[in-house]
Amino acid sequence: MVVLAGALALGTAACGSGGDDAAPAAGGDGRTITIKDFDYAPRDIEAKVGDTITVVNADAASHTLTAEDKAFDTGPFGKETKTFTVSKAGKFTYSCTVHPYMPKGVIQVSA
């Protein structure tokens, strides 16, 4: 429970600090999202229809990466890597269904 409370405090602090750091992550293909310490990094990415998104869970806890409209959903998974393909254009806000207090992210998919 101590770990959970810590994560909760972290999440709250992150929310309060605003999220204007929209600079693309350096390196990589820009389509990998790592979940670490109950946060997505990077939270916001861009992709094209047909792209494969890789999601790495670096936490011991299970997480999901689930679109609000359920366009994609990894389902709960532990310390491993999941992939899914984005099949339609749009702006998809996603979150973790296991931890609703985790910061949300956005995958912007262009045609």
Task: Report if residue 33 touches Cu ion, rule: CB under 5 A.
Answer: no
Q: Which residues contact 85 (CB under 8 A, 6 or more apart)?
A: 50, 51, 52, 53
Task: By CB under 5 A, tell whether 82 contacts Cu ion.
Answer: no
14 is an interface residue for Cu ion by CB under 5 A:
no
Size of residue set near Cu ion by CB under 5 A: 4
Residue 63 in the binding site for Cu ion (CB under 5 A): yes
Q: Which of 8, 10, 56, 98 binds Cu ion (CB under 5 A)?
A: 98
Which of 43, 51, 99, 105 binds Cu ion (CB under 5 A)? It is 99
